[in-house]
Structure 1
């Protein structure tokens, strides 16, 4: 069984100024998403994993490499999300994105070793989805903890799921927090 794709989404943001200061390097965030027909029935089914295993890599290949390519430079932070239409369950989106066949299709081209932080929810068309990002090699790198938002006016329709990957080329603009755990070290 293959996925039924209605729409591919590609979005790139660049932040050049933050709080009146130049951002160097320019902070870039790439989003690559796919809007698919929800492959699960609207009635309850126990086994979501078998289907996710069958189509996870196909979905990952539609968004993971495209996200890395759109960013156009080395990925430093990454994340993923699923936004499920109201005739589906949040668990439908979770099954698709919390699957290593999906995740590895993004993690490998991004050069990452960490688990991809994720968000999933059910929403109406036009609902925003907030995507957490963490450093691709060390999730404790505070400068790279950030949340980015994607919103598409007609997505998701009731029987659809938006699956999206997001990547950034750097940590937060003007990041200046102490290293993880520094506040607990004695002076």
Structure 2
């Protein structure tokens, strides 16, 4: 099975001020949204392994676009998501966002140890989705608990489409101050600390 990207959107949020405080290091968050046809729309298919295997190429193409949108800034956090059109199942987005999809993302950001936070939903065109972000190497880095709220264009996804999403950020929240492990204090190689 081959799943082609029909449309690719990139969104960039580049922020330097939060609560009236300016920061020398901006917070850049990017989202890449790929619209694909859902080969299993409007029918139940027990074995989703072909869809999972086909997602590797999607993950590679989307990861390349997301890293390019970072404009040379290092990637410290990531997240993924998906919106399935009304003719599909949430399981279809989840099948395309497994480890097979994610390994090219890990490689594209220079390696990563932590699991990638994810959110999927079934919704009509023009839906809102909140994609969670967390540090790519250690989940206990509270400053990087963040996300991106995205509104899909009014015409996507159609009932037989899926919008897949990768989000990246170069740092934690501006003005983060709730404690926890600091990103420069990550020592363990287990994806947690």
- In the superposition, the TM-score normalised over structure 1's length comes to 0.91
1:110 is aligned to 2:109: yes
Matches within 5 A, 1:17-32: 17-32=17-32
The answer for the alignment partner of 1:48 in structure 2 is 48
Equivalent-residue separation in structure 1 for 2:123 and 2:171 (angstroms): 30
CA contact (8 A) 1:78 1:168 kept: yes
Where structure 2 has 5 or more consecutive residues not aligned to the other structure, the ranges are: 182-193
- In the superposition, the TM-score normalised over structure 2's length comes to 0.88
CA RMSD in angstroms, aligned pairs only = 1.2
Equivalent-residue separation in structure 2 for 1:174 and 1:49 (angstroms): 43
SS in 2 for 1:97: coil
Matches within 5 A, 1:8-19: 8-19=8-19
Equivalent-residue separation in structure 2 for 1:129 and 1:24 (angstroms): 30
1:168 is aligned to 2:169: yes
CA contact (8 A) 2:83 2:164 kept: yes
The answer for the alignment partner of 1:70 in structure 2 is 69
Matches within 5 A, 1:1-187: 1-53=1-53, 55-72=54-71, 73-98=73-98, 100-111=99-110, 112-153=112-153, 154-179=155-180
Equivalent-residue separation in structure 1 for 2:2 and 2:57 (angstroms): 8
How far residue 49 of structure 1 moved from its aligned partner, in angstroms, is 2.4
CA contact (8 A) 1:78 1:167 kept: yes
How far residue 5 of structure 1 moved from its aligned partner, in angstroms, is 2.5
